[in-house]
Structure 1
């Protein structure tokens, strides 16, 4: 896509899956020239980018070198990434080129959940009790000290990969390897790479915030549905800009304290918290836009454009955060009935979809073989539907109708 030269130049490091991230790029390119740094040749992105640099891999050294070359030829205004495995690279580029952004060491404190935990513990901020381990034997000792049930998770993965709830030593022995063996690119090879944490039996929310010069502005609050225990597969979300919790002083104070402790000053964050009887407690905070279509849902519910807001902050500009709507938007993910399901076709019966349905998209194609979690964690999704409605109950009903309208044929 030809983008006028007068627009500010924004570097973007990787894009992710088209169905989950295209809406961000579509918005951003209306106000910025986007230069993509990626490890593969762009395809669908070509409609939206002014240029692209393909690197051998997206490790920090290659990404920074590519950014340096681009900056030598034209003025770069900002850099960003919404991909968990590349947010530190973006921060390093910002430091190298003197661009706006949170310091790389603070972004890494968000990526590395053990650093998050130890930083918040030093400030006395509310979170689960935790211990870092490297072996199943160490995990057993930690679980005995913390008390079952416990949550076992990799210290630097995303998307709930390898996160498991275990109720006793036998389950811990069965599932420890699930957390230990999650492969996360561009991270150190930790001798102790697994966290064992206290399980907080309380509702979980997510909060997407834009952070500008140290000021935290929560924009979208998501109430999530989780399935496939003992795993934490996120099967759906309801998102609103008008949720009463976004005006709750205790939650707002917690978010401000968390960001200040971590040193996160500029960018976008996706925080997950449990609403316990003692108040909100942080599960994790990611230095990027939320996944699972959450920012898209926030945009549809409020009229606030997350892509443009995040890009503005990346370029040192104050983001636009005024809402023009007060709806609720939701997403529902659909899964195959059993492991190793051979897909013949996936489609929605359009005649059975209510008017609140916004999107109804297959995520797999004929010939794909997919499995539900555990085997198919995240990758096991076969379709998604989104809905927009005045209130949460209507949104849920529309998503229920969409799920019933899914037509799956298997081989």
Structure 2
């Protein structure tokens, strides 16, 4: 029998918001002694961790490196894990310094910097939108004119569809460029040409959460993305089928492996997004971390695969355990306010909801300032719900029912 002190030691960088990431930390605690590096006060995480270190910034490797080396020398880490987009590059630099699997900052940079992703994968012959990096609105208009048709404006180094907007013509590019240029995340450096102007690709969008061990890509889940608040590309929900035919689609799987090989990804967890077109899958982006928006939790509920333990395994240089034990369907949906304001409280009346509700909880806390998109991109969400069952229509009906039970008290 393995005792707590015999469990492998895992270094985790920033747990993230409880509502979105607690399930991952809960799973890790069953197999690892987790030591947390955090740039904010630790609270709910204490139930799942063996220790923690406060650092000034998790986006600066130098702020973590001294402590990491001291801790590693005293009691070696088996691996290092980070699912916080803003921190993954700094975490990779620390991982490299500790000599742990997945520690290649150049690989992470090729994923974080979407311009580098495009350049690398163009050379590899990957189907993806034509893309131009720009600094000014005039450059954006010129690029959009050259690309033709609708274009997508997106930040070069952010995730979660932050700052992403569609523009149909040069006039809309001028109107919407400031939105993209002005979208920033604390700790993420701004490139010299921080905005990408890309061809708009028609078709449904999917995301693929996978783990990579010694260069081999293994798919865990495929989610179908629901977008809202056009022309802004706000991710309002995700749908998943544990028996999705795409899980065995040879063209998609071959393309996924080719992309990861070209980017040099050897060990780690990834979240890759594609548009499905009549001529095959077209790459939108690759993220060097587990997906957000509760997508991995939805995957665990519909398949039984544990994404946290799979990601931790490859972070420790071990083959992941991917053993699905169910094939359900499920959906996650986010709920938004119809006006701007400061939250006093958000409550969800759960009594009487269908049994297919797997999870429902407020996202906005008292004192949060919220608004519908585009002002409230992601941060404007009031609540989230997950429904899991045997029937997609039943899941939709359940999530519709949740919408009628959300009560917002404005401060």
TM-score, normalising length: structure 1: 0.96
Q: Distance in 2 between matches of 1:291 and 1:189?
A: 22
Is residue 156–residue 184 contact of structure 1 (8 Å, CA) maintained in 2? no
Q: Distance in 1 between matches of 2:53 and 2:187?
A: 19
Mean CA deviation greater in 111-120 or 358-367? 358-367
Q: Quote the residue 1:356 is aligned against.
A: 356
Counterparts of residues 143-182 of structure 1 (less than 5 Å)? 143-182=144-183
Structure 2 unaligned blocks of 5 or more = none
Q: Distance in 2 between matches of 1:279 and 1:189?
A: 33
Q: Deviations over 1:258-311 (max 9, x none)?
A: 101101111110011000111000100101000000000000111111111111
Structure 1 unaligned blocks of 5 or more = none
Q: Distance in 2 between matches of 1:342 and 1:181?
A: 22
Q: Quote the residue 1:117 is aligned against.
A: 118
Mean CA deviation greater in 141-150 or 38-47? 38-47
Secondary structure at 2:365 match in 1: coil
Q: Distance in 2 between matches of 1:367 and 1:141?
A: 42
What is the deviation of 1:366?
4.0
Secondary structure at 1:378 match in 2: coil
Q: Quote the residue 1:303 is aligned against.
A: 304
Q: Distance in 1 between matches of 2:289 and 2:70?
A: 25
Q: Distance in 2 between matches of 1:267 and 1:241?
A: 22
Secondary structure at 2:41 match in 1: coil
Q: Quote the residue 1:408 is aligned against.
A: 408
Describe the shift of the 1:179–1:390 C-alpha distance in structure 2 as closer, same or farther (beyond 3 A).
same
Q: Distance in 1 between matches of 2:223 and 2:399?
A: 16
Is residue 93–residue 103 contact of structure 2 (8 Å, CA) maintained in 1? no
Q: Distance in 1 between matches of 2:316 and 2:298?
A: 24
Mean CA deviation greater in 311-320 or 181-190? 181-190
Q: Deviations over 1:212-256 (max 9, x none)?
A: 111111111101110011111110111233211111111001101
Secondary structure at 1:304 match in 2: coil
Is residue 224–residue 238 contact of structure 1 (8 Å, CA) maintained in 2? yes
Q: Distance in 2 between matches of 1:178 and 1:68?
A: 41
Q: Distance in 1 between matches of 2:376 and 2:319?
A: 40
Q: Quote the residue 1:76 is aligned against.
A: 77
Secondary structure at 1:236 match in 2: strand
Is residue 220–residue 322 contact of structure 2 (8 Å, CA) maintained in 1? yes
Q: Distance in 2 between matches of 1:205 and 1:293?
A: 15
Secondary structure at 1:27 match in 2: helix
Is residue 18–residue 44 contact of structure 1 (8 Å, CA) maintained in 2? yes
Q: Quote the residue 1:56 is aligned against.
A: 56
Describe the shift of the 1:408–1:185 C-alpha distance in structure 2 as closer, same or farther (beyond 3 A).
closer
Q: Distance in 2 between matches of 1:179 and 1:310?
A: 31
Secondary structure at 2:49 match in 1: coil
4+ aligned runs moved over 4 Å, structure 1: none
Q: Quote the residue 2:39 is aligned against.
A: 39
Describe the shift of the 1:214–1:102 C-alpha distance in structure 2 as closer, same or farther (beyond 3 A).
farther
Is residue 89–residue 105 contact of structure 2 (8 Å, CA) maintained in 1? yes
What is the deviation of 1:367?
4.3
Q: Distance in 2 between matches of 1:63 and 1:370?
A: 33
Q: Distance in 2 between matches of 1:368 and 1:277?
A: 43
Q: Quote the residue 2:378 is aligned against.
A: 378
The number of residue pairs the alignment matches comes to: 408
Q: Distance in 1 between matches of 2:146 and 2:386?
A: 42
Q: Distance in 2 between matches of 1:101 and 1:6?
A: 23
Q: Deviations over 1:4-30 (max 9, x none)?
A: 211111000111100100010001011
Q: Distance in 1 between matches of 2:272 and 2:363?
A: 26
Is residue 361–residue 384 contact of structure 2 (8 Å, CA) maintained in 1? yes
Q: Distance in 2 between matches of 1:195 and 1:115?
A: 11
Secondary structure at 2:68 match in 1: helix
TM-score, normalising length: structure 2: 0.96
Describe the shift of the 1:394–1:187 C-alpha distance in structure 2 as closer, same or farther (beyond 3 A).
same
Q: Quote the residue 1:255 is aligned against.
A: 256
Mean CA deviation greater in 358-367 or 256-265? 358-367
Is residue 102–residue 267 contact of structure 1 (8 Å, CA) maintained in 2? no
Is residue 150–residue 196 contact of structure 1 (8 Å, CA) maintained in 2? yes
Q: Quote the residue 1:291 is aligned against.
A: 292
What is the deviation of 1:194?
0.7
Q: Distance in 1 between matches of 2:133 and 2:366?
A: 43
Q: Distance in 1 between matches of 2:140 and 2:353?
A: 47
Secondary structure at 1:71 match in 2: helix
Secondary structure at 2:5 match in 1: coil
